[in-house]
Structure 1
Amino acid sequence: MSNASSSRVVIDLDVSGPTISRHLYGHFAEHLGRCIYGGFYVGEDSGLPNEGGIRLDVVEALKALDIPNLRWPGGCFADEYHWKDGIGPKADRPSMINTHWGNVEENNHFGTHEFMALCELLGADPYVNGNVGSGTVQEMSEWVEYLTRDGDSPMVRQRKANGRDEPWKVPFWGVGNETWGCGGNMRAEAYADLARRYATFCRSYGDNKLYRIAAGASDYDLAWTEALMKAISCLGCGREPKNIFQAISFHYYTIAGSWDSKGSATEFALDDYYRTLIKAQDIDRIIRGHSAVMDAYDPERKVGLVLDEWGTWWDVEPGTNPGFLFQQNALRDALVASVHFDVFHRHADRLVMANIAQTVNVLQAMLLTDDDGGLVLTPTYHVFEMNKGHHDATAVPVHLVEQPEPYELDGKTMDLLSASASVKDGKALISVSNLDPSSPADVVLDLRGAEFRNPAGRLLTASKPQTHNTPTDPGAVAPVALTDLAADPRGLRVTLPPHSFATVSLDV
Structure 2
Amino acid sequence: MALLFINAGRKYSKVNKNIYGHFSEHLGRGIYNSIYVGENSPIANVRGIRTDVVEALRHIKVPVLRWPGGCFAEYYNWKDGVGPDRQRIVNAGWGGIVEDNSFGTHEFLDLCEQIDCSPYIAANVGSGTPREVSEWIEYMTFSGESPMANWRRQNGRDEPWKIEFFGIGNENWGCGGNMRPEYYADIYKHFETFVRNYDNNKIFRIACGADGSDYKWTETLMRLAGKNMNGLSLHYYTMPKYYETEPYPWENKGPAVGFDKGNYYRTLRRALYIDELIRGHKHVMDQYDPKNEVSIIMDEWGTWHQAEPETNPAFLYQQNTMRDAIVAALSLNIFNTHSDRVHMANLAQMVNVLQSVILTDGEHMVLTPTYHVFDLFKGHQDSTLIESYVQQDMTGTEEASVPALHISASERADGRIHVTVVNLSVDEPQQAHFLLAGKEFSSAEVRFIAGDMNNHNQFGQPPQVEVHSMPDIKVKDNCLHFELPACCVAEIILD
Using the TM superposition, give the Cα deviation of residue 157 of structure 1 relative to its aligned residue in structure 2, in angstroms.
1.0
In the alignment, structure 1 segments of 5+ residues that lack a partner are: 1-5, 234-241
In the alignment, which residue of structure 1 is the partner of 2:464? 476
In the alignment, which residue of structure 2 is the partner of 1:456? 445
- Rounded to whole Å, the distance in 1 between the matches of 2:53 and 2:485 is 31
- Rounded to whole Å, the distance in 1 between the matches of 2:205 and 2:164 is 9
Taking the TM superposition and a 5 Å limit, the aligned residue runs for 1:10-89 are 10-89=5-84
In the alignment, which residue of structure 1 is the partner of 2:258? 267
1:431 paired to 2:420: yes
- Rounded to whole Å, the distance in 2 between the matches of 1:206 and 1:490 is 52
1:182 paired to 2:168: no
Q: Which of the residues 367, 370, 376 maps onto 1:380?
A: 370
- Which secondary structure does the structure 2 equivalent of 1:387 belong to? helix
Taking the TM superposition and a 5 Å limit, the aligned residue runs for 1:329-344 are 329-344=320-335
Q: Which of the residues 266, 271, 278 maps onto 2:269?
A: 278
- Rounded to whole Å, the distance in 1 between the matches of 2:42 and 2:216 is 51
Using the TM superposition, give the Cα deviation of residue 474 of structure 1 relative to its aligned residue in structure 2, in angstroms.
4.3
In the alignment, which residue of structure 1 is the partner of 2:87? 94
Taking the TM superposition and a 5 Å limit, the aligned residue runs for 1:330-409 are 330-371=321-362, 373-400=363-390, 402-405=391-394, 407=396, 409=398
In the alignment, which residue of structure 2 is the partner of 1:116? 109
CA contact (8 A) 1:486 1:494 kept: no
1:440 paired to 2:437: no
CA contact (8 A) 2:441 2:478 kept: no
Q: Which of the residues 113, 132, 135 maps onto 1:142?
A: 135
- Which secondary structure does the structure 2 equivalent of 1:437 belong to? coil
CA contact (8 A) 1:366 1:380 kept: yes
- Which secondary structure does the structure 2 equivalent of 1:282 belong to? helix
CA contact (8 A) 1:196 1:231 kept: no
In the alignment, which residue of structure 2 is the partner of 1:236? none
Using the TM superposition, give the Cα deviation of residue 409 of structure 1 relative to its aligned residue in structure 2, in angstroms.
4.1
- Rounded to whole Å, the distance in 2 between the matches of 1:263 and 1:499 is 20
- Rounded to whole Å, the distance in 2 between the matches of 1:406 and 1:227 is 39
Paired amino acid for 2:305:
W
In the alignment, which residue of structure 2 is the partner of 1:328? 319
Paired amino acid for 1:213:
I
Using the TM superposition, give the Cα deviation of residue 408 of structure 1 relative to its aligned residue in structure 2, in angstroms.
5.5
- Rounded to whole Å, the distance in 2 between the matches of 1:184 and 1:483 is 55
In the alignment, which residue of structure 1 is the partner of 2:96? 103
What fraction of aligned residue pairs are identical, expressed as a percent?
Answer: 47
Using the TM superposition, give the Cα deviation of residue 42 of structure 1 relative to its aligned residue in structure 2, in angstroms.
0.4
Using the TM superposition, give the Cα deviation of residue 484 of structure 1 relative to its aligned residue in structure 2, in angstroms.
7.6
In the alignment, which residue of structure 2 is the partner of 1:420? 408
- Rounded to whole Å, the distance in 1 between the matches of 2:328 and 2:361 is 24
CA contact (8 A) 1:444 1:488 kept: no
In the alignment, which residue of structure 2 is the partner of 1:248? 232
CA contact (8 A) 2:443 2:475 kept: no
CA contact (8 A) 2:440 2:478 kept: no
Paired amino acid for 2:18:
H
Using the TM superposition, give the Cα deviation of residue 490 of structure 1 relative to its aligned residue in structure 2, in angstroms.
4.8
Paired amino acid for 2:98:
E
In the alignment, which residue of structure 2 is the partner of 1:224? 217
- Which secondary structure does the structure 1 equivalent of 2:42 belong to? coil
In the alignment, which residue of structure 2 is the partner of 1:3? none
- Rounded to whole Å, the distance in 2 between the matches of 1:75 and 1:504 is 35
In the alignment, which residue of structure 2 is the partner of 1:493? 481
- Rounded to whole Å, the distance in 2 between the matches of 1:50 and 1:21 is 31
Paired amino acid for 2:283:
A
Using the TM superposition, give the Cα deviation of residue 489 of structure 1 relative to its aligned residue in structure 2, in angstroms.
4.3
CA contact (8 A) 2:58 2:116 kept: yes
- Rounded to whole Å, the distance in 1 between the matches of 2:476 and 2:453 is 30
CA contact (8 A) 2:318 2:354 kept: yes
- Which secondary structure does the structure 2 equivalent of 1:396 belong to? strand
Using the TM superposition, give the Cα deviation of residue 87 of structure 1 relative to its aligned residue in structure 2, in angstroms.
0.4
TM-score, normalised relative to structure 1: 0.94
CA contact (8 A) 1:337 1:383 kept: yes
In the alignment, which residue of structure 2 is the partner of 1:7? 2
- Rounded to whole Å, the distance in 1 between the matches of 2:300 and 2:472 is 35
In the alignment, which residue of structure 1 is the partner of 2:245? none
Paired amino acid for 1:279:
R
Paired amino acid for 2:334:
V
Paired amino acid for 1:457:
V
- Which secondary structure does the structure 2 equivalent of 1:192 belong to? helix
Cα-to-partner distance string for 1:234-280 (whole Å, 9 max, x where unaligned): xxxxxxxx4x2211001000001241021111110100000000000
- Rounded to whole Å, the distance in 1 between the matches of 2:33 and 2:60 is 21
In the alignment, which residue of structure 1 is the partner of 2:195? 202
Paired amino acid for 2:306:
D
CA contact (8 A) 1:484 1:494 kept: no
- Rounded to whole Å, the distance in 2 between the matches of 1:484 and 1:287 is 38
Using the TM superposition, give the Cα deviation of residue 487 of structure 1 relative to its aligned residue in structure 2, in angstroms.
3.6
Paired amino acid for 1:438:
D
- Which secondary structure does the structure 2 equivalent of 1:128 belong to? strand
Paired amino acid for 2:316:
L
Using the TM superposition, give the Cα deviation of residue 482 of structure 1 relative to its aligned residue in structure 2, in angstroms.
2.0
CA contact (8 A) 1:268 1:466 kept: yes
CA contact (8 A) 2:441 2:475 kept: no
In the alignment, structure 2 segments of 5+ residues that lack a partner are: 242-248
- Rounded to whole Å, the distance in 2 between the matches of 1:494 and 1:303 is 41
Moved more, 49-58 or 479-488: 479-488
CA contact (8 A) 1:444 1:490 kept: no
CA contact (8 A) 1:485 1:495 kept: no
Q: 1:484 to 1:296 in 2, by over 3 A?
A: farther
Q: 1:297 to 1:120 in 2, by over 3 A?
A: same
Cα-to-partner distance string for 1:278-332 (whole Å, 9 max, x where unaligned): 0001110000000000000000100101000000000000000011000000011
- Which secondary structure does the structure 1 equivalent of 2:355 belong to? coil
- Rounded to whole Å, the distance in 2 between the matches of 1:494 and 1:284 is 28
In the alignment, which residue of structure 1 is the partner of 2:246? none
CA contact (8 A) 2:265 2:401 kept: no
Cα-to-partner distance string for 1:453-499 (whole Å, 9 max, x where unaligned): 2211011001x100000113242100101248444545101211111
